[in-house]
Amino acid sequence: MRVLAALWRHPSGRIGATIIALYLMAALLGAVGITPHNALKQFPIDRLKAPSVNYLMGTDLLGRDTLSRLMLGIGQSFVVAFASVACATLAGTVIGLLAAWWGSLWDGILMRVMDVLLAFPAILLALLIIAIVGPGTFTSVAAIAIVYTPIFARVVRGPALSLKRRDFVDAARTFGSSQGYILTRHLLLNLVAPLTVQVTLALAWALLTEAGLSFLGLGTQPPAPSLGLMLSDSKNLMQHAPWLMLFPGLTIMLGILGFNLTGDALRDILDPRTERRTA
């Protein structure tokens, strides 16, 4: 599509897209089991080995290869991130669109409910949800989705409200077009641009939160590898085995960076306001 081509031409977009592509590849390879070593198998003899040709990123306390675990960890993070953002996008867009379209009373009710959810710092809300349902991958997805839904609702509602007042929507009403037609072809189609940007940024945030939750031990449970957990385990071994902290940390950072850069580039490409600024 034209957008992908434009993304490639954009300097930071190119970097962001490359990172995401690399990560996707690593995740896929990890998922099908093509890793340098078996990520779950423990080799106590080789524990706490510094990075070498054999173990490119060293090994941990139980002799597991860091690189292989990272690849699986990326896969975990991506699954959680994509799943949760997909849910949040769906729910948030529907709520935001309907709130804008129906207006007055329903708008008030729906947005107040969103406000209640937004009254909690994100992590806190996630903690509460995890406390109820118990830690795990599925819970992380649910928690992040619930936390992000009101943000999407807000992001959609604003532009939807101004789109509603545009002449081409009025024109559609004069023809007698059905509400469904107007909502999908006229409103939704024109919301794709801000939504795409927000989705990308949401993915960055989801990665960050998933890592954070895992760090606290509330995300993906062991023995499945997760980036946050690897980081939290490395805390006490920092002095002796810095590679156990550095590589997972860098991996998380780079992943978030990839999505942030891509999101920024997409915003530059899709947001008409930037035309004003180029001069």
Q: How far is the C-alpha of 263 from the C-alpha of 184, rounded, in Å? A: 24
Q: What is the dihedral of CA 150, 153, 157, 163, to 10 degrees?
A: 160
Residue 257 engages another protein in binding (rule: CB under 8 A): yes
59 strand-pairing partners: 65
Q: Of the ranges 39-47, 52-60, 94-102, 123-131, which one interacts with another protein (CB under 8 A)?
A: 123-131
Nearer to another protein, 21 or 132 (CB): 132
Q: How far is CA 228 from CA 53, 74, 95, 146, in A?
A: 25, 10, 32, 21
Binding mask 188-207 for another protein (x = CB under 8 A): -xx-x-----------x---
Closest to 156 in 3D by CA, of 89, 104, 105, 108: 89
Where in 92-121 is the site for another protein (CB under 8 A)? 112-113, 115-117, 119-121
Q: According to CB under 8 A, which one of 122, 156, 195, 229 is a site residue for another protein?
A: 122
Residue 171 engages another protein in binding (rule: CB under 8 A): yes
Q: How far is the C-alpha of 265 from the C-alpha of 16, rounded, in Å? A: 8
Q: According to CB under 8 A, which one of 72, 85, 146, 172 is a site residue for another protein?
A: 172
Q: How far is the C-alpha of 55 from the C-alpha of 132, rounded, in Å? A: 40
Q: How far is the CB of 88 from another protein (least distance, A)?
A: 18
Residue 2 engages another protein in binding (rule: CB under 8 A): no
Backbone angle region of 17, left / alpha / beta, with phi > 0 → left and psi within -120 to 50 → alpha: alpha
Kindly list the residues in this chain that would bind another protein in the complex (CB under 8 A).
Answer: 12, 112-113, 115-117, 119-124, 127-129, 131-132, 134, 166-168, 170-178, 181, 185-186, 189-190, 192, 204, 208, 211-212, 215-216, 228, 231, 234-235, 238-239, 242, 245, 249, 252-253, 256-257, 260-261, 264, 273, 276-279
